[in-house]
Structure 1
Amino acid sequence: MSIAVIVPLMVVLLLCSAFFSGSEIAYMSANPRRLEKAGEKSSAARLAFKIQSRFDKILGTLLIGNNLVNTAASSVATMFVVALFPGSDGVGATIATVAVTVLVLVFGEIIPKILAKQKAVSFVQIVAYPLQFVIWVLTPIAAPFVAVVNLMFRKKQTEPTVTEEDLSTIIETVGEEGVLDEERSDLLQSALDFANTTVGEILTHRLKWDAINIDDAPERIAAVISNTPYSRLPVYERDFDHIIGVLNVKHYYRVLVDEGEITDLRPLLKEPTFVYTNMKLPVALAKMREEQNHVDFVLDEYGGIMGIVTMEDILEQLVGDIWDENDEIENEFVETDENTWEVVGDANIEDMFDMLDVDYRDFESDFTTVSGWAIEMLDADPHEGDSFEYRNLYVIVTEMGENRIERLSVIVKPVPEEDEDE
């Protein structure tokens, strides 16, 4: 075989290896609910969702296809080296093996898997039709091997016949069809999501919570306590990473009435308790109940304090917002003009997209708030007046706080008719 044939063939085999590797990780990573929603407008998404729903049966076919391609690449590489260096014998085979291993590892495994993981929903739609053809071709070859493996490692069925994803889809469907009212449907969905939500997803950032410096003058401490909307306040020494306790405001006032003045807060403080950002909410709630706490400080992986989570925050994930007379009700989205909205920086980005009727099926970001997403889009330190465009949205930073975006103006531009038809 000539070199002119071998080189293009090697490139094709590497692309096939990338196709199999990327498909494997993408279908394992893609959000099924987002994929199902995308299927409402895209036939590729519908096919991708169908493939994902039986992915456990298809995985063996993908692995066999990947191994066949990699074996073929090794053989072609050996022929290439032998063609370049006739008579090299074993040395040529060794060189070919090393070269193919590096090429397949980098271009056939690592790079495609990273890209597929980052853009899973988009990737599965792109490869859906080619993958369906490959499955149709390779299934007869893979079926005997899969059957043998199933016989060798057959176990008693332990997986539930209805998965959490199935329940979520059922709840969403019956809610849309009116079988359940919206309130009950939302409550059931919240109960399902509750077990998988982490403390880090609901915490209140440390910059947004009133706190007391134990070394401040009594007048300053009294001012913080009298002006706070919170019933419990963190007390720190030197900086917020050195929390020494939690002050119950009601207890403070009771002691103040009884004794006339308070010169030292330390005897009034309750010992602080901590949770890690990746702790699941059911575990955090059980910990709070066991320790009889209402407030926990959330630690990052380095032991620094990221923020605060309260029992009320956790319970709101189940039953929705819990309001009391001290809560300030702030509208996160206010229409200031036709097609123009003022948005609070802490608002959830997907809530904003829902409210503005923006399709976010393929949206991916490391942030959940509008302010975080804006900083990501600006790719620079934000300032008042900074702006960017996303799809049919024109976003302007209108108010900055201390090192963060407080408010933005979002202008919704008409969507061209050709985009609506897609």
Structure 2
Amino acid sequence: MSIWSGLFIAAALLLLNAFFVAAEFSLVAVNRASVEADAESGSLRASRVRKLLENLTVYLSGAQFGITVSALLLGFVAEPTVAKILTGGTSHSGLSVFIAVVFATSLHLVLGEQIPKYLALALPRRTAFLLSSLIRIYGKIFFPVVALLNYCANRILNRLGVEPKSEISASHTLGELEHLIEASGDGGVLDSEEVNLLRRSIRFADKTVADVLVPRVEVQALQKQDSVRKLVDLSVSTGFSRFPVFGIDLDDIQGVVHVKSVYNFPIKKRFSLSVKDLMNEVLIVPETRDLDDVLTDMRESRNQLLVVADEHGGTAGIVSMEDVVEEIVGEIGDEYDHMEVKTRAESLGSTIISGKLNLYEVEESTGLKIPEGPYETVAGYVLFRLGHLPEPSEIIETEGWKIEVLAVEGLRVANLRIVSPADFKAKGV
């Protein structure tokens, strides 16, 4: 074979190898949802790519077969051709063969492998659309060979207890979606607010009423014999508009009252009424009920305040529409709310937080990821770790973080200071 013939054949094989590599990586990397949408809108090229993706393993096997054959032939042709160029057509020396192999291999890796791979990964959609017709033609021609090789490979996998898949799954678990969102945030595709909103939306599916309820000890309630004046005063002092109504005690919830119900009566009659004259039927849900089901309950019953029962038949707390929605969008306040500051950054880098914060809120505001356990709040975690009601200044450590108790109100851990490992080092702690 002459040098020119060898160069021409080597260039053709190099181009063929690049084609197969680009075809393989573009089919794997292309956005399937985008292809589906374009195919549904009538795009012919998108329809061709969709058909390739529906039988992806066959076409990937075909591409691998093409890469293997073209690479072997390229080595067979390129090495002696380059050696002839180095020696001027005379007998090959050991050094010329070595140089020829290194040169041919480098050319193959750069032009036949790396460049088409990076091009396909950078522009998967355009590459797949451009090559789809050639891939289909090649697939039809070599289908018998590829089908035989696939059959052999699948038989081996079956013997190993692995079930072969005909196409790559485009679906993701919630955990995988959360990692994708975090990666998008780190890469600057999403801003911090968008990342937090999407993360909350994903975690919402795993939450129950117990994660968001207002605990019994914090419930503001009225007795059914209480006057309308007391209802109005309680609404003004708390900023709330709905209250549970009980008979004997909080385990005897009989209804829910809205302060606006007062305006259904004439002015002269309003303050002669009691709360039981204004209350509506109450809906009671278990604390294990999923939040998405609670939203359905609220929509169907048209009641935005539900009472939560524990497993012993007592009242565990209450949950409002606002409590549920805040799990997705974050803290909501209006001009009538008495907003409680739950976190406050200190000048030295540490953060003071309320013991009421749940584990996700702690991670979101400080970066500290508390392991899950038999507790819902950071205060519960501190009690779990210490095994007793702490005194102010008591400290626990977890994975390099320091949690210091600042205030205890009655039997409740009210405020804590969170110090990160970086703050430890900065302060020389």
TM-score range normalised by the length of the shorter chain: 0.5 to 0.7
Write the mapping of 1:341-360 to structure 2, written as runs, cut at 5 A.
341-349=351-359, 351-352=361-362, 355-356=365-366, 358=368, 360=369
What residue in structure 2 maps to residue 269 of structure 1?
279
**Which deviations, in whole Å up to 9, do the C-alpha atoms of 1:112-170 show, x marking residues without a partner?**
xxxxxxxxxxxxxxxxxxxxxxxxxxxxxxx989747667xx99999874333222222
- Please give the alpha-carbon distance, in whole angstroms, between the structure 1 residues aligned to 2:166 and 2:210: 37
What residue in structure 2 maps to residue 176 of structure 1?
186
In the alignment, structure 1 residue 228 sits paired with structure 2 residue 238? yes
Specify the SS of the correspondent of 1:306. strand
Judged with a 3 Å threshold, the aligned counterparts in structure 2 of structure 1 residues 211 and 157 are, in CA distance, closer, same or farther, namely farther
What amino acid maps onto 1:185 in structure 2?
V
What residue in structure 1 maps to residue 295 of structure 2?
285
- Please give the alpha-carbon distance, in whole angstroms, between the structure 1 residues aligned to 2:349 and 2:235: 41
Query: Would the aligned equivalents of 1:256 and 1:262 in 2 still touch at CA under 8 Å?
Result: no
**TM-superposed deviation, 1:290:** 0.7
- Please give the alpha-carbon distance, in whole angstroms, between the structure 2 residues aligned to 1:378 and 1:239: 32
- Please give the alpha-carbon distance, in whole angstroms, between the structure 2 residues aligned to 1:411 and 1:165: 28
What amino acid maps onto 1:374 in structure 2?
V
Specify the SS of the correspondent of 1:166. helix
Match of 1:372 among 376, 380, 383: 380
**TM-superposed deviation, 1:298:** 1.2
What residue in structure 2 maps to residue 250 of structure 1?
260
- Please give the alpha-carbon distance, in whole angstroms, between the structure 2 residues aligned to 1:354 and 1:161: 27
In the alignment, structure 1 residue 201 sits paired with structure 2 residue 211? yes
What residue in structure 1 maps to residue 411 of structure 2?
403
What residue in structure 2 maps to residue 81 of structure 1?
none
Judged with a 3 Å threshold, the aligned counterparts in structure 2 of structure 1 residues 157 and 197 are, in CA distance, closer, same or farther, namely farther
**TM-superposed deviation, 1:293:** 0.8
TM (norm. structure 2) is: 0.54
- Please give the alpha-carbon distance, in whole angstroms, between the structure 1 residues aligned to 2:180 and 2:420: 33
**TM-superposed deviation, 1:239:** 0.9
Judged with a 3 Å threshold, the aligned counterparts in structure 2 of structure 1 residues 321 and 388 are, in CA distance, closer, same or farther, namely closer
Query: Would the aligned equivalents of 2:241 and 2:259 in 1 still touch at CA under 8 Å?
Result: yes
**Which deviations, in whole Å up to 9, do the C-alpha atoms of 1:278-326 show, x marking residues without a partner?**
2111111011101111011112222221111111111222222222111
- Please give the alpha-carbon distance, in whole angstroms, between the structure 2 residues aligned to 1:330 and 1:265: 28
In the alignment, structure 1 residue 326 sits paired with structure 2 residue 341? no
- Please give the alpha-carbon distance, in whole angstroms, between the structure 2 residues aligned to 1:242 and 1:175: 48
Q: Judge which range, 219-228 or 302-311, deviates more.
A: 219-228
Match of 1:305 among 307, 315, 327: 315
Write the mapping of 1:107-118 to structure 2, written as runs, cut at 5 A.
none
What residue in structure 2 maps to residue 387 of structure 1?
394
Judged with a 3 Å threshold, the aligned counterparts in structure 2 of structure 1 residues 215 and 158 are, in CA distance, closer, same or farther, namely farther
What residue in structure 1 maps to residue 202 of structure 2?
192
TM (norm. structure 1) is: 0.55
Q: Decide which structure has the larger Cα Rg and report it.
A: 2
Judged with a 3 Å threshold, the aligned counterparts in structure 2 of structure 1 residues 245 and 157 are, in CA distance, closer, same or farther, namely farther
**Which deviations, in whole Å up to 9, do the C-alpha atoms of 1:224-246 show, x marking residues without a partner?**
34423111011101110100100
- Please give the alpha-carbon distance, in whole angstroms, between the structure 1 residues aligned to 2:226 and 2:160: 73
Specify the SS of the correspondent of 2:250. strand
**Which deviations, in whole Å up to 9, do the C-alpha atoms of 1:65-88 show, x marking residues without a partner?**
xxxxxxxxxxxxxxxxxxxxxxxx
- Please give the alpha-carbon distance, in whole angstroms, between the structure 2 residues aligned to 1:411 and 1:162: 35
Q: Judge which range, 326-335 or 245-254, deviates more.
A: 326-335
Judged with a 3 Å threshold, the aligned counterparts in structure 2 of structure 1 residues 285 and 147 are, in CA distance, closer, same or farther, namely farther
What residue in structure 1 maps to residue 15 of structure 2?
none
Query: Would the aligned equivalents of 1:234 and 1:247 in 2 still touch at CA under 8 Å?
Result: yes
- Please give the alpha-carbon distance, in whole angstroms, between the structure 1 residues aligned to 2:363 and 2:329: 23
State the identity %: 27
In structure 1, stretches of 5+ residues that fail to align are 1-142
In the alignment, structure 1 residue 210 sits paired with structure 2 residue 220? yes
Write the mapping of 1:94-113 to structure 2, written as runs, cut at 5 A.
none
Specify the SS of the correspondent of 1:279. coil
Specify the SS of the correspondent of 1:367. coil
Query: Would the aligned equivalents of 1:378 and 1:388 in 2 still touch at CA under 8 Å?
Result: no
Query: Would the aligned equivalents of 1:299 and 1:307 in 2 still touch at CA under 8 Å?
Result: yes
What's the RMSD between the two structures over aligned residues?
3.6
In structure 2, stretches of 5+ residues that fail to align are 1-154
Specify the SS of the correspondent of 1:382. coil
- Please give the alpha-carbon distance, in whole angstroms, between the structure 1 residues aligned to 2:359 and 2:317: 20
- Please give the alpha-carbon distance, in whole angstroms, between the structure 2 residues aligned to 1:236 and 1:382: 33
What residue in structure 1 maps to residue 70 of structure 2?
none
